[in-house]
Structure 1
């Protein structure tokens, strides 16, 4: 009688495990799930970046040094904050279930962190410019423009993330779609 009870109990345990869905496909974390998690968290950063870039573009290069300094300083701070937010969103989304997914996220987040720091350095340079002397100010903007161009060229890890399965999954997500800056983004306050 005890053998029958043991067989029944072990059979019942197998049945409970099967019904609980331990091997169910519903429990799998897909690349699309990862992309949704990342893109939903990244959307505010994408908007902040678009507005900061618009602020830089909309500031007249022949404008008053104080206006240019104010606009560029704000834009560089916002770009730094956006990149820091992107890195945090990547880390929070976890590892995408693709070959090399952990490295993809780690490298892209590190790239965002480095870019965030580079934008803060540009902000410090802009804030230190002499706005009283137009020529000195213009001369001081040249290395800042070069630094900005250098930052924009170094996006290798993000390009890898935006390619392959992760890129395809991200492209499907509304949160990763480019956004248009709000009309107020171009005005300097």
Structure 2
């Protein structure tokens, strides 16, 4: 059962990759304002990307060990959901604080959409944390049922993750994509992602 939860969770880390999995299209256009904007956004990415990936890994790890007692599973999952909620919230705050990408058509609407999606994801993971904290660890059957419900919710969150990814990809079109690709902090995350995928 816990394996289902782990499988459902693996989509979480994909979202941050939307912001970093871009390579520069050789854009040599110099736009200092846009570069400064991209730096604000990218500087928040590595720490949150690491936090979200570590949370995913800890859930997968605790799920793969069938001998873990319910209290261990609850504690690990609770912390992981908290970390994911915090990670998405921090990214939303970074993008919100950076403002609309300067000189980009529709940049303000795209920025607001990305912030809303990240905040929604943060809220969804905070809700899952509350649910896992409320599980009865003394009653194995009730705990398993509760965990099953949480796994079902995680599966439903996949659609929200996809919509968040789409909003981030939409934000990083054209010149924005080039500006993000130039940032060392986003390059670092993209490099670590391609290393783990290869």
* TM-score bucket of the superposed structures, by smaller chain: 0.7 to 0.9
**Higher alpha-carbon deviation: 118-127 or 95-104:** 95-104
Higher relative contact order, structure no. (Cα contacts within 8 Å, ≥ 6 residues apart): 2
Task: Give the 4+ runs in structure 1 shifted more than 6 A.
Answer: none
Distance in 1 between residues matched to 2:62 and 2:114, nearest whole Å: 30
CA-to-aligned-CA distance 1:130-152 (integer Å, 9 cap, x gap): 11122211111122112222223
Match of 2:99 in 1: 94
- Name the count of aligned residue pairs: 155
The structure that has the greater radius of gyration is 1
- The alignment's TM-score, normalised by the length of structure 1, stands at 0.73
Question: Structure 1's 60 and 107: CA in aligned 2 closer, same or farther, altered over 3 A?
Answer: same
Using structure 2 for the length normalisation, give the TM-score. Answer: 0.70
The match for 1:160 among 164, 170, 182 is: 170
Q: Look up the match of 1:36.
A: 39
* CA displacement at 1:103 relative to structure 2: 1.0
List alignment gaps of at least 5 residues for structure 1: 1-24, 181-189
1:94-133 equivalence runs, <5 A = 94-97=99-102, 98-133=104-139
Would you say 1:137 and 2:143 are equivalent positions? yes
Deviations 1:76-120 (Å, cap 9, x if unpaired)? Answer: 011111111011100111211311111111111111111111111
Taking the aligned partners of 2:106 and 2:181, their CA distance within structure 1 comes to 19
Q: Tell me, in whole angstroms, the C-alpha distance in 1 between the residues paired with 2:145 and 2:30.
A: 60
**1:73 aligned to 2:83?**
no
